[in-house]
Amino acid sequence: MRKNKIMFLMAAGLAGILLTASCSGSNKTDKKDDPISTTFTDTGKRVAETVHVGILESPVPAVDESIGDAGDDTTGADSSTEKFSSLTELQLSLMRGDVDSVKIADCTARYMAAHNYEFAASTLDTETPFNVGFAMMLNDTDTELCDRLSKAISEIKSDGTMKELEQKYIEGYIDGEDPKPVKYEHYDDAETVTFAFTGDLPPMDFISADGVPAGFNTALISEIGKRMHINIESVNIESGARTIALYSGRAQVVFWTPVLDILPEDTCPDGMVITDIYHTEVLSEVKRKG
């Protein structure tokens, strides 16, 4: 009986040693692969070694690269950029923790935070403001229409109407209810121009639950329709299909967000032309609280 008891104690001790070794090895592995391991900047600021950033995909690589890298020079962190074809996918990825932050126009960042209590928005930390512009893009075969749209935009800006529209349809909807559709005037025997909406940049570009475009861009083209005496037709498309919509003729005009800090020709796909900028936003980021 004594011999059996000794053998049992020896076995139990060996098992304890093996278990301790196993746990110790596991801890070392976890620490090595820890995704939130940190480093320090020259100023002593503690930052994550790699920040995973989500952005809305553009068919222009220079635009994606510029937005993805924005702010890296001030945080001291490396970043990896993941592109998404829609705002819905981008927000879900942020909710799941697949990306650490989202870089997007400030009005949309504030809209996201106001409509989701788990999100917090802040202006991107860059040495100089990083600006994105809002414009319209067309096929270069529609250059004459592009010039007419630019002229209308200039008039709307110069007489103060643009600021009134921005205050009502951007600032007025960020913290409140969802944007409402704006009615377009109809003119018998007038030209019809088709505009495409994605719904991916509220309150600028928004599509309601029943599929109706709304928000600032609808208010703007309604005003443009009155001044140009044209009829407005709208179609809904995916954000990544904007150039395809133009190439295929499904739409004559899409809304575009060129980065103002790089050369204009680098923000426009081949065979396209861009109107004058009608609105400007700084780049901001959205993170999960806590």
Indicate the SS3 state at residue 3.
Answer: helix
Q: What is the pLDDT, as a whole number, of residue 253?
A: 98
pLDDT along the chain (290 residues), means of 10: 39 39 38 38 52 84 75 64 92 95 94 95 80 92 97 98 96 89 94 97 94 96 97 94 93 87 67 93 91
User: What is the reported pLDDT for 76?
Assistant: 56
pLDDT recorded at residue 107: 95
Report the pLDDT value the prediction gives residue 32, as an integer from 0 to 100: 33
d(CA 149, CA 214): 20
pLDDT number for residue 73: 55
pLDDT at 128: 67
pLDDT at 263: 53
- What was the pLDDT predicted at 280? 93
pLDDT at 130: 80
Q: What is the pLDDT of residue 268?
A: 78
The highest-level CATH class for domain 132-281 is alpha beta
How much is the pLDDT for 262?
A: 59
Cα distance from N-terminal residue to C-terminal residue, the chain: 59
Please check whether residue 101 is in contact with residue 288, taking contact to mean a CB–CB distance below 8 angstroms. Answer: no
Cβ neighbors of 26 (< 8 A, separation 6 or more) are none
Do 78 and 49 contact (CB within 8 A), yes or no? Answer: yes
pLDDT at residue number 77:
62
According to DSSP, the β-strands at 192-197 and 231-236 are parallel
Q: Provide the token pair at 274.
A: 């861009």
Tell me whether the CATH fold assigned to 38-123 matches the one assigned to 132-281.
yes
DSSP states along 146-202: HHHHHHHHHHHHHTTHHHHHHIIIIIHHHSSSPP---PPP--TT--EEEEEE-S-BT
Which tokens is 25 given?
């090895």
Asked if residue 219 lies in contact with residue 182, where contact means CB atoms within 8 angstroms, the answer is yes
- Render pLDDT for 204-256 as a digit per residue (tens, 0 to 9): 999 999 999 999 999 999 999 999 999 999 999 998 889 999 999 999 999 99
Domain boundaries, the chain: 38-123, 132-281
CATH 3.40.190 applies to domain 38-123: yes
